[in-house]
Amino acid sequence: MDAMQAYLSKPWLQHYPESAPHTIDIPEVSVPDLFNQVTEKFGKKTAVNFYGRNISYKELKDQADRFAAALDSMGIKKGDRVALYLLNCPQFIICYMGALMIGAVVTPVSPVYSSSEVRHQLTDSGAKVIVCQDFLYDNVVEAEVELEKIILTGVNEYLPKLKKFFSKGILGKAYGGVEAPDSATMADQGLISLQDLLKKHSPNPPKVKIDPVNDLAALPYTGGTTGHPKAAMISHYTIVSCQAQAMEFWGHLLEEGNETVIAFLPLFHIYGQVIIMLTGLVHGFNLVLFTTPDLDKILNAMDQYQASAFYGVPTLFEYLKEYDKTNRVNWKKLKLVVCGADTLHDTTVDDWERRTGSQIIEGYGMTETAAASLANPPHRPKRGSFGIPLPNITAAIIDVDGTEAMPVGEVGELILSGPSIMTGYWQRSDENKDTMVELAGMTWLRTGDLVKMDEEGYFYFFDRKRDLIKYKGYSVFAKHVEEVLYDHPQVKAAGVVGVPNPKVGQMIKAYVVLQAEARGKISEEEITEYCKTKLAHYKVPQIIEFRGELPKTDVGKVSRRELREEVEEA
């Protein structure tokens, strides 16, 4: 058997859950088609619980229909881009679904973006309309992008009356925003109130014919390895495929129309957007929605609403490990716990299982795959592995030059093929030639992630290809060094990058955040000596720098990209 055939034979299929088919037929329908079907079936059920305000599927569809009609009245047509510069709130869901109903393409913007970052995304996507949190409006003005319409909305518009009163202005200050413009300013500058739009238009948008396979639904932006972020082209079919694959794989744990999901991960991010929001909405789940990951409120909601599904990231599970209030929660209703975005430390998994009695399903996905593409089978997970390919997904590993498949058990670049893969990057034809490749008669996405597969078809993450450090000819995985640092009891966070050096290629530099009680008591030399006891000589960092905190990505991972940029600018 040649190397590629070892992957094409799909050894992972023997470990599928008994209820999960090896392949599934994906219906060629749009996302709104599925949402409309669920609304007919579960119209009276709660779709979104926003700090105690229940919004039924019927009401949510009514609001989305009104927004779709409003966009149509503005001249927004199929294929036009609509930007959402919003926190987690019902308006995000309403505007997302409403835009899709008339064939528009949604491009979600991170609410922590600066005006220059907003400018890039609006310009690159060619957005005609933006729906903006009122207190973030100044960033849109400073971006100086020509837009046809700017629609403003307040986070508190869908809160219960009492909470609406007390919340005024608080979130804006928390996100570095300013006071929302008053009505006179809005009128003078031609700004539009979302609530005025929804009241003005009836819930009867035009029927737009959508080609699910070829028509785009979303342009989510992913951090660029160099330069500006770029958008993955995600079609309706891509989203429908992704949610179907995930639900067929672990969906036997969940019952349509009868689950409550704690939704605190950012909806602008592909994980929250597809796996939590859209998967939940097309299966009739109740989304208990939070604007920010407030642990007290999340844990209270777990109890109050008897949550059955919980999606998180490693940083959250790490925080919960040190959070003394988890013992008060009744975890018995939990059916599904998923962790994505990065791998978990064994001690964190052990702590979670001890506290809750439930297991964490670790998975793998990226913006380019519309979120999940591999996950551990619930009945047979493997520690340290991010699992096996979901139905309809084929995975293989190639050498870093992209010329041939790697033997089983050897590290190389992960490539993926299947219906939930993006069609390419938006307006990046040159990058698409390198990213979307033809091998063995199939189209593959080169992920840029270095992984290996064991004999049973389970995959293990080593590092991002761009984070591989070359020291004296040796290949050093930054993630491996970080894991050793995290095992030190006095290390709270760590980020490792390569520093260019003409003699050795790259020096290994570790940025370290110590636990509060260790600051000023542990030296750089002590960390170096510790590493020497755990790592081969060529993997030991030559440079240690203590920091009070490290830059983070949107989902809470240490941002090596920003650390590399610091090194380059130094």
CA distance 12 to 21: 12
Residue at 51 is within a domain: no
CA distance 502 to 515: 34
Same domain, yes or no, for 497 and 426? no
Burial degree of 280 (CB within 10 A; 0-12, 13-18, 19+): buried
Same domain, yes or no, for 334 and 425? yes
Same domain, yes or no, for 488 and 421? no
Same domain, yes or no, for 368 and 503? no
Please report how many Cα atoms fall inside a 13 Å half-sphere around the Cα of residue 540, on the Cβ side: 15
**Token representation of residue 211:** 């080609």
CA distance 450 to 435: 15
How many Cβ atoms from other residues are within 10 Å of residue 185's Cβ? 11
Contact 225, 448 (CB under 8 A): yes
For residue 442, what are the CA distances in angstroms to 415, 417, 418?
A: 11, 7, 9
What pLDDT does residue 512 have?
96
Query: Which of 463, 489, 508 corresponds to the end of one domain?
Result: 463
What pLDDT does residue 184 have?
65
Contact 87, 171 (CB under 8 A): yes
What pLDDT does residue 178 have?
52
Same domain, yes or no, for 77 and 191? yes
What pLDDT does residue 201 have?
97
Q: Which of 5-9, 17-21, 68-72, 180-184 has the lowest average pLDDT?
A: 180-184
Residue at 224 is within a domain: no
Q: Render pLDDT for 204-224 as a digit per residue (tens, 0 to 9).
A: 999 999 999 999 999 999 865
Same domain, yes or no, for 122 and 264? no
CATH number at residue 513: 3.30.300.30
Residue at 429 is within a domain: yes
Mean pLDDT to the nearest integer, 378-398? 95
Find all residues with CB under 8 Å of 78, minimum gap 6, and list them: 102, 103, 104, 208, 210, 215
Q: Render pLDDT for 225-261 as a digit per residue (tens, 0 to 9).
A: 456 789 999 999 999 999 999 999 987 899 999 999 9
Helix or strand holding residue 443 (H, E) = strand 442-453
226 Cα distance to chain centroid: 20
Query: Which of 410, 437, 463 corresponds to the end of one domain?
Result: 463
Residue at 33 is within a domain: no
Contact 126, 83 (CB under 8 A): no
Does residue 284 register a pLDDT over 60?
A: yes
Residue at 47 is within a domain: no
CA distance 218 to 236: 8
Same domain, yes or no, for 496 and 559? yes
**Alpha-helix residue ranges (DSSP H) falling in 322-376:** 346-356
What pLDDT does residue 379 have?
92
Please tell me whether residue 392 adopts helix, strand or coil conformation. coil
DSSP string covering 492-512: EEEEEEEEEETTTEEEEEEEE
Please report how many Cα atoms fall inside a 13 Å half-sphere around the Cα of residue 145, on the Cβ side: 26
Mean pLDDT to the nearest integer, 430-435? 90
Percent of the chain beyond pLDDT 70? Answer: 94
Mean pLDDT to the nearest integer, 404-417? 95
Does residue 131 register a pLDDT over 60?
A: yes
What pLDDT does residue 321 have?
81
The answer, as to whether pTM is greater than 0.85, is yes
What pLDDT does residue 568 have?
83
Residue at 394 is within a domain: yes
Does residue 93 register a pLDDT over 90?
A: yes
Same domain, yes or no, for 417 and 325? yes
How confident is residue 555, by pLDDT bands cut at 50, 70 and 90? Answer: confident
Q: Which of 127-136, 182-191, 272-281, 419-428 has the lowest average pLDDT?
A: 182-191
CA distance 332 to 521: 42
CATH number at residue 420: 3.40.50.12780
Q: Render pLDDT for 45-91 as a digit per residue (tens, 0 to 9).
A: 999 999 999 999 999 999 999 999 999 999 999 999 999 999 999 99
What pLDDT does residue 343 have?
82
Domain assignment of residue 14, given as a range: 3-26+232-463
Same domain, yes or no, for 415 and 505? no
Find all residues with CB under 8 Å of 469, minimum gap 6, and list them: 475, 476, 477, 478, 496, 497, 498, 506, 508
How confident is residue 175, by pLDDT bands cut at 50, 70 and 90? Answer: very low
How confident is residue 174, by pLDDT bands cut at 50, 70 and 90? Answer: very low
Does residue 308 register a pLDDT over 50?
A: yes
Residue at 318 is within a domain: yes
Does residue 302 register a pLDDT over 70?
A: yes
What pLDDT does residue 188 have?
66
Q: Render pLDDT for 440-459 as a digit per residue (tens, 0 to 9).
A: 899 999 999 999 999 999 99
Query: Which of 428, 463, 498 corresponds to the end of one domain?
Result: 463
Q: Render pLDDT for 331-385 as a digit per residue (tens, 0 to 9).
A: 888 999 999 888 888 888 998 998 888 999 999 999 999 989 999 999 999 999 9
Does residue 287 register a pLDDT over 80?
A: yes
Number of domains composing the chain: 3
Q: Which of 171-185, 410-424, 465-479 has the lowest average pLDDT?
A: 171-185
Find all residues with CB under 8 Å of 10, minimum gap 6, and list them: 22, 389, 394, 457
Same domain, yes or no, for 457 and 479? no
- What does pLDDT average to over the chain? 91
Produce one character per residue of 53-69: b if its CB has 16 or more CB atoms within 10 Å, e if not: bebbbebbbbbbbbbbb
Same domain, yes or no, for 428 and 453? yes
Residue at 535 is within a domain: yes
Residue (of 423, 426, 427, 449) closest to 436 by Cα position: 423
Same domain, yes or no, for 553 and 413? no
